[in-house]
Every structure is written in structure tokens, then in C-alpha cells.
């Protein structure tokens, strides 16, 4: 069992101001796999003070110094890569193969991308008789979720380091093990004392103290829309910047000219990846009404073939959901889908056969749903797909946009021009055509209640920078 009860503050591992232990549960077997401490306002004060002191020098560091630092972070992460993946498997049940190929890769990918951008980023430019400077915003509070733990740490910490900010990270208390490994990587890479700090804890104890702290200059939050609202409210009195990546209920429009088998298969497997615990999951599949029966048969076949089981087993495709609380929520929404009259095509309530221990959910597909049903409106955050029929392309686009969210959208088509035209009409921040992935350089973030600001690549630098115009600079 991992004993991770210390915090990383000012370049050292320190005990919490007040000891409050929390067990970390392995969702695959429901056993305790680690223990952390829950921090409080005093721990946040210490971490923020360290970050504020460190900013006086790190905020004025040179590009060359930060390039060298990020190079060291990349090299150290590469040495600890397997450790990161194993921690993610234990804390959230990601299958080992998925943890290695996808989850752990995100952290390395964001470090490498921030390094690439930093080498050429324009921090100052001349305009009229003035010079415009882009300077680090200061001390940043970073709050990250449990579902893609290192991805969200990486896409916040890497650009913050690159531009010269200092920071305090509060990772999810549900899946904090990989954040500890990340902190070890930062220490081993030689990040200067106080530049990077980590305090474990829950939202009320640490998240609130961080977001309302007067010496924190910006908050970067990833999580539910409900929690994002609270962060923004806490930040408002000090008028600090708030960047948010929040929930989603993303549409996946299968156009009439798409290869139906490929499109439906891709959509079902995507919903099972990471056990459906992705904010940008294509959870609403929009299918031409005259092809719905055929699409149902494909979806049922694909769902039945998904291997659910022990994350340590190389043959496992889908592991458990992260906690008993998430399991109960998903089961309740599956029951509600049945009660509201949606057709159950695959899966359903309960656990897969032979998996009585662990928070395992059956890959579930509903069909014949209308967009006003609960399963089409609420973010389920599990392997539950809702198929909605449409009779015209205009109706499909209207259904796609009929949501308070706008994080992602998906278009499947055999005609790229057709796909581009439909993609241009979806009100969301990230659209994928035929399952394409643009890499870590492509901006990620949402419209509407899916948040504000953008992460990843060059666009991810913006939220960590202030703009200063010095008029008359030319003399």
C-alpha cells in the first residue's frame, strides 16, 4: 500500500498542518491501495506563500532556462513512464494497456508540446510606437479531476512552467496516486523550490481555500460544471482569472453517407474507452431513422464483444468505474432510461457476469431515445450510449446543438466536404471527423456550460499570460 500522506511544498515533502487521513480505493477490487492526507487552509497558505516567493525569480527566468527545465522534465518523465501508468491503473482502474498507451502518454505529450511551443513562442512584439509583452500571470491554482488524472495535470503544469508561472496543484482526492508520482518527477527534474507545489484534499477543504486565496492570480479548473461554478464564485471577489474545462454531452452525428458499420463500431468502442469516463465522450449517437435498426444490431454486437475485467489483465478492454458513488449514479441513470421508455439494446443494470467485486458496469446501449430524456441530457460518465434517430440533416444538427454543453462533437461521413459543412454548424469547441485525433497541439475546451479558455499546445499558453503594452518604447 502506498503511504502518500505528505504534501510537496517549497521543494520538500512536508506533513500536513493537521493530520486527516483518507484511504484510496482500488476500484477493481475495492481494497485500500493507498492513503493520503486531506489538507486545509493552512496547507494552502503555506503552498501559496512558497509559490509567491518563487515567482519573484522564476517569473523573470529566461526562455533558455525554462527550455532546459522542460527538457529535464521530459527526460525524467520518460524514466518514470511505467510508474505513472501503474499508479493510474491502481487509482482509477484503467486497463494497463490503456494506461500505458493513452493515459500516461498524455503527461509526456503535454510536456513535449509545451517545450516545442516555448522554443518559438512570441513573448514580445512591436506595435506602432510601442512594445507589447506577454508576461506570466503569477501564482496559479490548478484543480484536476480523477478521470484523466495526468492528462489534466500535464496540460496545466506544462504551459504554466513554460511561460514562467508558479503554481499549487490540488489533484483529485479520489485518484491522487499519479499526482504524487508527477510531483516526484518535478522534484527529480530540478524544478526550483516553490515553483511547483502539491496539496492533496477535497473541494471544501483545499479547492475553496485555493480559489478564494488573495495571492492566487488565476485558477485553472477541470471537473463538473457544478463544481466549476463554485470555483468561479469563490474566485470572483478577488477578480482572478478563471479557466474552466467542464462537462459535456457530445453528439456523434452519423450522416447518411457514412460507412454505418465503421461509424457505429467506432462510436461504441469510444464510449467504452476509459469506461466512458471522459468529458468529451460521444454519448449521443445520432442515426438516420431508416438505418436505426441496422445500427442497433451493430451496436449490440460490438458492446457484447467488449472484454470487461481486471485492469492488470492484458486482454481487458474496459475496467471499472472509479468509485462506488459513480457506480451508483450510473446504475440510477440506466434505470431511469428504462423507466422513461428508451429501448435497451445492450447491457443494462447490474454488473457483468462473474465480476461481483469491483465497480464494474455493463457496456450499455439505449436506442429510440428522444433528446429530452434524462439519458440524453445528463452527463452519465460511464459506458452508456444513447442512440437518437433523426429524419433530416437539419434535425440532426438541431438535436446536436440542443444541449447546455458544448465541449465536443463528432461527425461520421464518407464525404469530407459534407463532414466539414456539418462540423461547421456544431456549437462545440472540439470536433472530430471520422475519429481523427489532431494531437497535443490542437486546442481543447468548450462552448456554453462546458467552460471557457483553451488548453493544449500554443493555445494553452494564453490563460497563463498577461499582456502589457509599453507605449513610447521605441523612443
- Residues 234-285: pLDDT tens digits? 999 999 999 999 999 999 999 999 999 999 999 999 999 999 999 999 999 9
CB 142 within 8 A of CB 173: no
Q: What's the Cα-to-Cα distance from 107 to each of 78, 85, 305, rounded to whole Å?
A: 10, 10, 30
pLDDT per residue as tens digits for the range 405-430: 999 999 999 999 999 999 999 999 99
Average pLDDT over residues 427-439: 97
Catalytic residue numbers, as ranges: 245, 279
CB 144 within 8 A of CB 152: yes
- In angstroms, the CA 346 to CA 335 distance is 13
> Would you say residue 376 has pLDDT above 90?
yes
> Would you say residue 204 has pLDDT above 90?
yes
| Percent of the chain predicted with pLDDT > 70 | 100
Q: How confident is the model at residue 398 (pLDDT cuts 50, 70, 90)?
A: very high
Query: What pLDDT is stored for residue 236 in this prediction?
Result: 98
Is residue 53 within a helix (H) or strand (E), and if so which, with residue range?
helix 41-58
Average pLDDT over residues 308-312: 97
Angle (nearest 5°) at CA 207 between 204 and 209: 85
Q: Is the dihedral of CA 33, 39, 44, 49 positive or negative?
A: negative
Q: What homologous superfamily does CATH list for 2-246+449-470? A: Aldehyde Dehydrogenase; Chain A, domain 1 (3.40.605.10)
Q: What's the Cα-to-Cα distance from 147 to each of 153, 255, 278, rounded to whole Å?
A: 11, 30, 7
Query: What pLDDT is stored for residue 414 in this prediction?
Result: 98
pTM score: 0.97
- pLDDT averaged over the chain? 98
Q: How confident is the model at residue 394 (pLDDT cuts 50, 70, 90)?
A: very high
For the chain, give every domain's residue range. 2-246+449-470, 251-439
Q: How confident is the model at residue 475 (pLDDT cuts 50, 70, 90)?
A: confident
- In angstroms, the CA 372 to CA 413 distance is 26
* Domain 251-439 is found in CATH 3.90.25.10: no
Amino acid at each position: 500500500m502506498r503511504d502518500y500522506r505528505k504534501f510537496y511544498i517549497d521543494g520538500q515533502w512536508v506533513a500536513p498542518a493537521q493530520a486527516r487521513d483518507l484511504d484510496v480505493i482500488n476500484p477493481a477490487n475495492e481494497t485500500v491501495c493507498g492513503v493520503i492526507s486531506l489538507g486545509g487552509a493552512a496547507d494552502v497558505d503555506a503552498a501559496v506563500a512558497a509559490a509567491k516567493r518563487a515567482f519573484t525569480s522564476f517569473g523573470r527566468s529566461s526562455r533558455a532556462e525554462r527550455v532546459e527545465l522542460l527538457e529535464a522534465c521530459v527526460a525524467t518523465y520518460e524514466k518514470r513512464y511505467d510508474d505513472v501508468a501503474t499508479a493510474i491503473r491502481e487509482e482509477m482502474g484503467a486497463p494497463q494497456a490503456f494506461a500505458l498507451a493513452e493515459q500516461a502518454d498524455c503527461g509526456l505529450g503535454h510536456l513535449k508540446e509545451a517545450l516545442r511551443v516555448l522554443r518559438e513562442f512570441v513573448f514580445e512584439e512591436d506595435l506602432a510606437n510601442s512594445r507589447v509583452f506577454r508576461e506570466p500571470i503569477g501564482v496559479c491554482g490548478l484543480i484536476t479531476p480523477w478521470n484523466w488524472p495526468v492528462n489534466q495535470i500535464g496540460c496545466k503544469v506544462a504551459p504554466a512552467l513554460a511561460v514562467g508561472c508558479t503554481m499549487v496543484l490540488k489533484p483529485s482526492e479520489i485518484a491522487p496516486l499519479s499526482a504524487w508520482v508527477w510531483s516526484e518527477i518535478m522534484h527529480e527534474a530540478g524544478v526550483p523550490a516553490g515553483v511547483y507545489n502539491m496539496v492533496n484534499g477535497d473541494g471544501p477543504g483545499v479547492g475553496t481555500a485555493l480559489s478564494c486565496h488573495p495571492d492566487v492570480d488565476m485558477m485553472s479548473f477541470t471537473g463538473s460544471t457544478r463544481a466549476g461554478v463554485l470555483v468561479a464564485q469563490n474566485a470572483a471577489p478577488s477578480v482572478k482569472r478563471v479557466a474552466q474545462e467542464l462537462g459535456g454531452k457530445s453528439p456523434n452525428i452519423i450522416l447518411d453517407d457514412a460507412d454505418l458499420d465503421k461509424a457505429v463500431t467506432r462510436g461504441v468502442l469510444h464510449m467504452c474507452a476509459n469506461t466512458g469516463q471522459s468529458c468529451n465522450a460521444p454519448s449521443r449517437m445520432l442515426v438516420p431513422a431508416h438505418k436505426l435498426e441496422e445500427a442497433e444490431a451493430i451496436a449490440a454486437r460490438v458492446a457484447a464483444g467488449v472484454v470487461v475485467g481486471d485492469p492488470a489483465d492484458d486482454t481487458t478492454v474496459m475496467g471499472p468505474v472509479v468509485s462506488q458513488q459513480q457506480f451508483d449514479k450510473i446504475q440510477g441513470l440506466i434505470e431511469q432510461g428504462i423507466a422513461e421508455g428508451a429501448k435497451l439494446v445492450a447491457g443494462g443494470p447490474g454488473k457483468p457476469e462473474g465480476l461481483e467485486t469491483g465497480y464494474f458496469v455493463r457496456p450499455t446501449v439505449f436506442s429510440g431515445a428522444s433528446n429530452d430524456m434524462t439519458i440524453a441530457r445528463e452527463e452519465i460518465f460511464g459506458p452508456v450510449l444513447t442512440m437518437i434517430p433523426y429524419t433530416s440533416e437539419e434535425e440532426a444538427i438541431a438535436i446536436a446543438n440542443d444541449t447546455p454543453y458544448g465541449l465536443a462533437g463528432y461527425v461520421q461521413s464518407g464525404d469530407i466536404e459534407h463532414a466539414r459543412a456539418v462540423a461547421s454548424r456544431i456549437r462545440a469547441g472540439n470536433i472530430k471527423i471520422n475519429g481523427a485525433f489532431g494531437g497535443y497541439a490542437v486546442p481543447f475546451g468548450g462552448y456554453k456550460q462546458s467552460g471557457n479558455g483553451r488548453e493544449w499546445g500554443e493555445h494553452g499558453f494564453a490563460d497563463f499570460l498577461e499582456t502589457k503594452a509599453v507605449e513610447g518604447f521605441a523612443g
